[in-house]
Amino acid sequence: MRLLRLLCVFVLLPFAAAAHAQVITIKFSHVVAADTPKGKAAERFKQLAEAATKGRVKVELYPNSQLYRDGDELEALQRGAVQMVAPSVSKFGPLGVRDFEVFDLPYLLPDVESVHRVTDGDIGQKLFAKLDAKGIKGLAYWDNGFKQYSANRPLRKLADFRGMKLRVQSSKVLAASVRQLGGVPQVMAFSEVYTALQQGVVDGGENSVSNIYTQKMHEVQKHLTISDHGYLTYAVIVNRKFWEGLPADIRSALEGAMKDATRYERAIAAKDNADALALVRQAGTTEVYVLPEAERAEWKKALLPVQQEFEPVIGRELIQSVQAVAAQVQAERRKRQ
């Protein structure tokens, strides 16, 4: 009996303590600068997660495609080389999950409130469920902001797009939108865009102003059109096996940290984009053109066929349910005014 107690104290207990103290590492890789809404929120999540788990979890951040570029980061997540990433939802097509491309339909979501209503409701959850079979679990949707077109020539009238080579993310809807406008889409990883713009491999692209500014794209783009033709939304996702294998208390602490980081992210995103636009104007390298309402309506009309083209892929029901949410938000807004 005494021997057993000694065995417990000197042999088993230290092992149990060591196992308990083992630190769980979450490698969180992303492609944008640390000084963006996503970069800052990743940092906030790290702080909150490490504090909430009292050091039992360590979050390692790898911004700016340091570890993986678009596409590669999703594969790395699936094989467990990293545990967390936060890609734009426009990048799920190559995984075989096309439903998220609903977010890429031009002018479908007119404001951020509608985006949130979609992502935070049934639709957002159903879309996340589509990732399960890919070994991925969706934790949260994060904001960036509305996307704008930039190029070395003005892109104002629809005719200006003719023959323009424009970089897009890996979404068939985004490529079709450029084609619909008369341009030539070029799918390219985010990390390659600056050099491609600088060397004239592409003439321009579409992105949020915070991405344009933090990647210095404005230094190699003479024109920026504030067109707000689509919204750049992120999905914070984890390797499902890793997530489900976490001790329950750790998982719930991390869920809490993610909730708070998401609230923070959404609170700063719009301002970050507005600040970036002011800085682009201040830099003086890029002429900014705010598309007037009447011209925006023309763009919207010209892009409408993209929706019909992708209805069979994305599903009419999904498109209509997103439209219904957006219409509801508009109706509520009108009532408030």
Q: Given the rule CB under 6 A, which residues bind ligand LMR?
A: 31-32, 70, 88, 144, 169, 190, 207, 211, 232
Q: Where are the alpha helices (DSSP H) in 22-120?
A: 37-52, 72-79, 112-120
User: By C-beta, is 42 or 57 nearer to ligand LMR?
Assistant: 42
Residue whose token pair is 């979609």: 118
Minimum CB separation of residue 104 from ligand LMR in Å reads 11
Minimum CB separation of residue 326 from ligand LMR in Å reads 22
Query: Quick one: which of 306, 160, 156 has its CA closest to 230?
Result: 306
Comparison of 31 and 49: residue with beta carbon closer to ligand LMR? 31
Q: Give which of 231, 194, 190, 214 is closest to 39, Cα–Cα.
A: 214
Least gap, CB of 7 to ligand LMR (angstroms): 54
Nearer to ligand LMR, 52 or 212 (CB): 212
By C-beta, is 38 or 117 nearer to ligand LMR?
Answer: 38
184: β partners: 165
The closest alpha carbon to 176, from 97, 321, 168, belongs to: 168
CB 81, CB 104: distance < 8 Å: no
Rank residues 107 and 142 by Cβ distance to ligand LMR and give the closer one: 142
Closest distance of CB 241 from ligand LMR, Å: 24
Q: Which residue in the block uniquely carries the two structure tokens 């990883």? A: 189
Q: How many angstroms separate the CA atoms of 308 and 312, rounded?
A: 8
The label of the residue with tokens 């490490």 reads 50
Is the CB of 124 or the CB of 230 nearer to ligand LMR?
Answer: 230
Give dist(CA 319, CA 43) in Å, integer: 34
Q: How far is the CB of 64 from ligand LMR (least distance, A)?
A: 10
Least distance from C-beta 32 to ligand LMR, angstroms? 5
State residue 187 phi and psi, 5-degree precision: -80, 135
Residue type, 292: P
Q: How far is the CB of 235 from ligand LMR (least distance, A)?
A: 11
Do 47 and 55 touch, CB atoms closer than 8 A? no
Distance CA 249, CA 255 (A): 10
Residue nearer to ligand LMR on the CB measure, 57 or 131: 131
